[in-house]
Amino acid sequence: MNAISVSRQRLCRGQRWVIKIGSALLTNGGRGVHRSAISAWVAQMAALRARGIEVVLVSSGAVAAGMDRLGWRRRPESIHQLQAAAAVGQSHLVQVYEQAFGDFDIPSAQILLDHDDLSNRTRYLNARSTLRTLLSLGSVPIVNENDTVVTDEIRFGDNDTLAALVANLVEADALLIMTDADGLFSEDPRENPRAELIAEASALDPRLLQVAGESRSGLGRGGMATKVRAAQLAARSGACTVIAGGAREAVITRVCAGEPLGTLLLPEAGPLAARKRWLAGQLQVRGAVVLDRGAETALLERGRSLLAVGVTGVEGCFRRGDLVSCRNSAGREVARGLVNYDSRESLRIQGQPSEKFIDLLGYRDDDELIHRDNLVLL
């Protein structure tokens, strides 16, 4: 085999992948849930899990599967009919996945999200904790949009965007978008068979959106434009994106092994730097915590998380998930981060070790007041 390029080597090192499968692929172009293809993808994901690589699956296909089940030939226009088709299709899809993952003794888990879940900080953090817990339990979460309850204003619009937001949420190293085209081409290959594959580019290259067109299958919603935008979103938290043909033999295994399949879209900054910049730019500061000398040193010199035991003061009114300022005893802001306990809880646990949280709060969630992944040093 040819030498693996440096950027593909970066993919091979990925320990957490979000893999998105589009509707046309999942339903074999609208011919019902494609069980044999699902079994083959699941076998490859199981092999990744066996190597310790974590996988979150974002699966479309509920509407397409529901349409098939209900005998509808054309995608309905009415939102309620779409929602009904999604409800029928989703339970069928999940049952097929559950069986396929069950063959490898992997517990799959259904997660249905809407936009509110990711824009509201508390729900964002809860979704994040649940996904992380599922991954640590060896499960493969299967995410889709909660089509049955969403209305126009709150829908993600497409699962490419949802997959990118999930990649941000779980801080994935890589996002693999599997579709019915072999990657991003210089033009839609359905229109021009001589269009050329773009093997690699910066996710932020503005020329990509000029060549990325709409979906034409009548099954999916996004087309290539939403896949490129998804790669841009994923890049915000430092994830690489590959857009690849899901019908290719052993596509997941080969992409993860660094084979030059599909289109690789790269972020400009490294994962942690990108994520922290994203955090810092995203939110307003809602309050402050004051650190003792030990906590200040732990954060600034040892890259540690902030523990409540090193906090001597709490100011302002903030909720779990808000951005708070961390000040040293001289009043200088030394860091900012997303806090795991609200201001009332923080007041109760300040200066205390995490073993006392249950006595003080009646429960214990995270051991850290602010996890180091959610801290930006200033």
Ligand X SMILES: N[C@@H](CCC(=O)OP(=O)(O)O)C(=O)O
Residues annotated as binding site?
20, 60, 147, 159, 179-180
> What's the min distance (Å) between Cβ of 327 and ligand X?
44
| Residue 248 within binding range of ligand ADP, rule CB under 6 A | no
> Torsion angle, CA of 55/161/171/206, rounded to 10 degrees?
120
> What's the min distance (Å) between Cβ of 24 and ligand X?
6
C-beta of 262 vs 310, nearer to ligand ADP = 262
Residues 376, 264: Cα–Cα separation, whole Å: 29
Residues 178-197 as x/- pattern, contact with ligand ADP by CB under 6 A: -xxx--xx-xxxx-------
Closest CA to 116 of 87, 145, 79, 75: 145
Residues 195-214 close enough to bind ligand ADP by CB under 6 A:
211-213
DSSP calls for 71-133: T--S--SSHHHHHHHHHHHHHHHHHHHHHHHHTTT--EEEEEE-HHHHHSHHHHHHHHHHHHH
Q: Determine which residue in the list 11, 63, 252, 306 makes contact with ligand X, applying CB under 6 A.
A: 63
Residues 44-83 as x/- pattern, contact with ligand ADP by CB under 6 A: ----------------x-----------------------
Residues 212, 216: Cα–Cα separation, whole Å: 12
Strand 323-327 with 333-338, pairing: antiparallel
Q: Pick from ligand X, ligand ADP, none: which does 147 bind, CB < 5 to 8 A by kind?
A: ligand X
Q: How crowded is the C-beta side of 255, counted as CA atoms within 13 Å?
A: 33
Closest CA to 219 of 19, 21, 29, 81: 29
| Residue 265 within binding range of ligand ADP, rule CB under 6 A | no
Edge to edge, the sheet with strand 140-145 lists 108-113, 140-145, 54-59, 16-21, 174-179, 240-245, 263-266, 200-202
Q: How crowded is the C-beta side of 222, counted as CA atoms within 13 Å?
A: 29
C-beta of 22 vs 310, nearer to ligand X = 22
Per rule CB under 6 A, count of chain residues that contact ligand ADP: 26
Q: Pick from ligand X, ligand ADP, none: which does 169 bind, CB < 5 to 8 A by kind?
A: none
Residues 104-163 close enough to bind ligand X by CB under 6 A:
144-145, 147, 158-159
Q: Pick from ligand ADP, ligand X, none: which does 188 bind, CB < 5 to 8 A by kind?
A: ligand ADP
CB 190 within 8 A of CB 29: no
DSSP class of residue 314 equals: E
Q: Determine which residue in the list 89, 141, 222, 238 makes contact with ligand ADP, applying CB under 6 A.
A: 222
| Residue 75 within binding range of ligand X, rule CB under 6 A | no
Interacting span for ligand X (CB under 6 A) from 57-65, 111-119, 262-270, 322-330: 57-65
Residues 197-256 close enough to bind ligand X by CB under 6 A:
220-222
| Residue 83 within binding range of ligand X, rule CB under 6 A | no
Question: 3-state DSSP call for residue 167?
Answer: helix
Sequence letter at residue 63: V
Residues forming the site for ligand ADP (CB under 6 A): 22-25, 60, 179-181, 184-185, 187-190, 211-213, 215-217, 219-224
- Using CB under 6 A as the criterion, which residues of the chain lie in contact with ligand X when the complex forms? 22-23, 60-64, 86, 144-145, 147, 158-159, 220-222
